[in-house]
Amino acid sequence: MLNLLAIVLKKLVFPTARCFLKQSSTVIATLKANELPAQVDILASIDINQLLSVGIRGVILDLDNTIVSEDDRYLSPYAEAWIGQAKDLGIKFFFLSNGKRHHRVEYWSSYLDIPASSPAKKPFPRAFRKAMRYMQLSPREVVIIGDSRHTDILGAWLVSCSSIQVASLPHPPRWWERLLGKYVQKPYPSDQKPWAFQPSSYHYGNP
C-alpha cells in the first residue's frame, strides 16, 4: 500500500508540484519585472540594484537620443559612469541602433566596449533575439532601454522583455516627430541639463 502511494506521489503529485512551482516562479519573475519604472528622465537615474533584484542580467541599449543626441550635440549625463558601474556588477550590454551611420555606432561601441548591431530595424524582433543570444540571456533576464515607444518599447513587448523608456535627448525634430513625437517620446525635462558634446574627427574618424 505504501509502495502504491509512493508511486502515485512520484507520478502525479511531484510533476504537478514541479509544474506549479515553475509557473509560480515565472509569475513572480514577471511581477518583479513589472516593479521596474516604465519611464525615467535619464539612463543614470535607473537603480542598478533594482535591476539586479528583479533578475535583470543584461541591457539592450538604444544609442540615438538615449546616450547621444542624433545631431551629436548632447550626451546623457553620467551615462558612461552608470554603464561602467552596471558592468562592474555583472550586467551585460548590447547596443541596438536603427541608425544607418555606421561610424557613429562603431565609435560608441568601441568607446564604451559594448557590442553593437545597426541598423537593427527595431521594433522587429530579429535583432533583439540576436542580442539576447549573444549575451546568452533569456527575455526575462533582459531589459530594453531606449527613448522611443514605437521602436524600443514595442520591440521589448514583442520579445517579452521588460523595458524602460528614457526621455529623448534634445534633437532637431523630424517631420513625423513634429506630428507624432508626443505619442512616442518622453520630452527631455527642463530641470535636467544634458551634457554638451562636440565630436571631432578623433571621435568619429573619417567616414
By CB under 5 A, name the one of 58, 62, 77, 122 that touches Mg ion. 62
From residue 129 to residue 158, what is the string marking binding to Mg ion with x (rule CB under 5 A)? ------------------xx----------
Comparing CB distances to Mg ion, the nearer of 62 and 141 is 62
Comparing CB distances to Mg ion, the nearer of 11 and 182 is 182
> Distance (Å, rounded) from C-alpha 59 to C-alpha 42?
15
Sign of the torsion formed by the C-alpha atoms of 102, 171, 65 and 74: positive
Q: Which one-letter amino acid corresponds to residue 47?
A: D
Q: Is 65 in the site for Mg ion (CB under 5 A)?
A: yes
Q: Which one-letter amino acid corresponds to residue 16?
A: T
Cα-only R_g, the chain = 21
Output the smallest distance, CB 31 to Mg ion, in A.
28
Comparing CB distances to Mg ion, the nearer of 54 and 63 is 63
Output the smallest distance, CB 98 to Mg ion, in A.
7
Q: Is 70 in the site for Mg ion (CB under 5 A)?
A: no
Q: Which of residues 101-130 bind Mg ion (CB under 5 A)?
A: none
Query: H or E stretch including 202?
Result: helix 201-204
Nearest-CA neighbor of 78 among 67, 62, 65?
A: 67
By CB under 5 A, name the one of 46, 57, 59, 64 that touches Mg ion. 64
Output the smallest distance, CB 157 to Mg ion, in A.
16
Tell me the three-class secondary structure of 149-165, residue by residue.
HHHHHHHHHHCCCEEEE
> Distance (Å, rounded) from C-alpha 180 to C-alpha 177?
5
Output the smallest distance, CB 53 to Mg ion, in A.
27
